[in-house]
Structures are given as structure tokens and as C-alpha cells.
Chain A
Amino acid sequence: MREEQISTVVSVAAVGHAKFGKRKTEGIRELGYEAVSDLFQDLNMNHTDIDATVVGLAADSFSGQGAPAALIVDEIGLAEKPNIRVESACATGTAAIKTAYSMIKGGMHDTVLVLGVEKMTSISSSYATELMARAGDLRWEFPFGCSFPGYYALMASAHMDKYGTTREMLSSVGVKNHFYGAKNPNAHIQKEIGLEEAMNAVQIASPLNLYDCSLISDGAAAVLLTKKDLARKITDIPIDIIGIGSGSDTMQISSRRSLTSLVGTKRAAKVAYHMAGISSQDVDIAEVHDCFTIAEIMAMEDLGFYPPGEAGQAILDQQTYIGGKIPTNIDGGLKSKGHPLGATGISQAVEIFKQLRNEGKAVQVDGAKIGLSHNVGQTGQFVNVVLYKRGD
């Protein structure tokens, strides 16, 4: 029995996605509903046939609703199913996937609906900046008014000093992600930007400007996880989860030995690659956590795609576009698609699911078999790397 449980392959059987953006007329319940109804549309099972739900929602303070996970599942008629809420800051989505994966692996449930939701635009962007700053150490770092972009700006200053990473390299990340976001109907901002425009945007926390920062968005995304044999009854092409790794870091950014990489990402990647029996060279498509442009550069190095200090030039040379070495964030990433905290890691899974099934239409990596999702909470205090493989 135990051996059977351990050898259980957990697959993604179906996905759903709500439109990301400034969703003035919808609250968390409508957003969650939109992703779930998208998932079950045209599926040969009813949503009430699932065994349990895992809801990822990072911050009650944005929407004001306490116990939001209960509200959201009630809205979709699942109030009597086992439900659990997961929070790991901006890595909440992949934490929810990991939780559901572990439940299925452990034999607790067979089929679990994983739903990530966030409603962030009801408050002003300066108050949102205040709330996110409170995710730094309230006692010893918040009192200096270090904004969330400020934390990544500190890392950017160290990375630029150590490796000669340039303003142009940072901006090329945003240019790429907007190039692809412009083609994604679910993206928050469907507009391309120019390199000059990106380089000269208004300063937020130098060296980071407005176009280095991801978006404050409303949105939701959902995946249906189940045992592979059950997934085959739902779809001809299940997408298997072949590796999950996690890592973390110190709460105070000042306590870190290195400011030019995230130890949590390195650990998470190492564990995930080992579990899957692959290396970074086997990955065909990457979804990385580009909450800021410098974060994508550091991620590409920490995940093993490029040696330390070399990702910036590679991105500038368009190696991370489709046709390059490793297509990255071809759904627009957090920068252009948007970053509704709890939904982000699940949205990454949605894009990988489509790509590995060759459903990307206008934006498709031909023959992609393995996809990587990299999701970071705060400034590296929570990191999950999830590896997906086409399972037909």
C-alpha cells in the first residue's frame, strides 16, 4: 500500500484562468468563480466530483475579507468539501500546488482543486506599497521605509556592482515580457514597450524604475490535480508533476551572505531537478518569478540556466525568447501578465500546461516536453520550483 502511494504520479488534468487586471467590478468570489468555471468548461466531470480544495490567497488586508478561502469555495458550491487555505506570500500559488500534490501522494485525497485568488486594486498603490513593506521585518527593517521594490533594488545594486549588470539588461527583461504579454488575452497590460521607454521610466527605488516592477493586479487561476490514472479519464494529455523543491532565506535582507542570488531558489531547484532526475538543460520552457526585472536575471542564474553574472547579457541578446536557448515568461510574466499574489504560481502552471500540450496557438514553443515554474515569496523567504512533464 505504501509503495503504491509513493509511486503515485500526480498530474494536472485541467486548468482555468481568469482575466488578470484591474477588475473594478469583481471581488474575490467572482474572480475565483471565473477561473473555476473556465477550468470545468467542456470537461467530462462536474466540479462537485472533486474530493477537496486548496485555496491560495496571500493577503487578507488587500480585499479586507477575513477567511477568504471559505467564501470563495462557497461561491462555487463546494462548501461541504474539505478545504484548506495556504499562504506563503507571493509563493502562495505554488505552495497550494505543493500542498495538494502532497495530499494526493499521501493518499489523503484523489482529486484536488487548487485555486489561487487575489484582489489587490481596491486600495491605492501607495497603501499597497505600505502593506507590502510590512512584509519586511516590522521591528528592524520596516522602520527605515524600505519599500518592497526597495528590497529588490538593494539586490540590483549589488548585482550591478559585482557583475557589471546594466540598466539596459534590466530593461530588456521588461521589454521581452511585454512583447509576450501583448499577445496574452489574460494579461493585465497587453502592450509592448520599447527599450528606450523602459530605460527612462520614472524612478521607484533606484536603480529600479516603474518598468522594472511587476503589476498590482486582480486575478485568479486554477488547476485540477489528481492521480495520473484518473487524469487519463479526463484528458488524453495529462501533465505530470515530476519534481517539487522548496527553499527559504533570512527574514532580514541585511542578514544574507549574498545579495546577488537567492539561496532559496538554488536549493529549490537542486531538489526539484534531483527529484525529477533531470538538469536545467532538459527544461524546454521556464516560468520564473519576475516580480522585478533583477529578479528574473537572478532566477535564470540561480536555476542553473546561466552562470552567475551572465543572465543579463543573455536576456539582452534575446536568448530567452522563443527560438532562443530557454523561452522564459512567454505569457508576459508578472511584469505584463500581472501579479495577483495568490494566483501567480498557479497561473505559471496554467501556461506550462498549455505549452506542453501544444495549445499555445500564436505563442508556442514547438515540441516542449518539460516546463519549470519558479515562484518566490517576499524577497526569497519562500521559494518553490515545480517541474512539469507532458505525460501522454
Chain B
Amino acid sequence: MEQHFTRDIESLDAIFSYLGERTVSLDLDDGTTFAVKMAVEELFTNMVKYNRDGRADILIDVRREADDVTIVMVDADSEPFDITSLSDVDTNAPLHERRPGGLGIHLVRCLMDEVSYEYKNRRTSIRLVKHIS
């Protein structure tokens, strides 16, 4: 079920291993599996990048109920960073104006059907839902 990961980019290998096992056991199709992996990597790397001093490990949980896949990620020692309030990335900008910043969260929004954010007492909780078509 849920698993905790050290706040380090190098944890991604272990995270992909966990997600590989979970997506198989939940019988997710290739497209949904791709979306789950991308959403978790993008959010995890943001948690590491923007909260390097946090001491808590990061919790990841992936569950399925009928045709909904729910991802929950919790950082229990964090500063507020509301991913649902970020401005949209201009995906029509010319090449020389393109910047990668914000692209990851943009992709999460595109890939997931629901994105919610909670912050209380230094605890960030992000919940994503994808409807399996």
C-alpha cells in the first residue's frame, strides 16, 4: 500500500519500482500507468526541489476503486506551495521564450482529472484522481 521515500531525487528509482508493482497489482492499463508515474515524479521532484530542508520522508499511496485511481502524496514537514494556484504555462509561446519551469505541474493537470491541495501545520497533502476510460 502506502510507502515512505527519502527526500532525495535519487529516491526516484525506488519510487518507480514501487509504482511498477502497484500499477500491476491494480491492473492499470499502459496509459494510466504512464500518467501515474509522471504525476508522482513531477510532484515528488517539486517537493524535493522547493523544500530541501524538510526532515520528513514523503509518503506516496496509489489506490484504485472501480474506475478511479487515486494518488495521495504527503510531505509532513513543508512550506506552503499550492500547486492548484499556479498560473497556466503558455504552451503556444515561441521556442526562444519557452522555459521548463512550471511544465511539470502543467502536465500533472493535463493527465489527472482531479487535483486537490491541503496545507495545515506544515503538512502538505496532495490528492490526484484519474478516471480510467
User: Does B bind A?
Assistant: no
Give residues in B with beta carbon < 8 Å to A: none
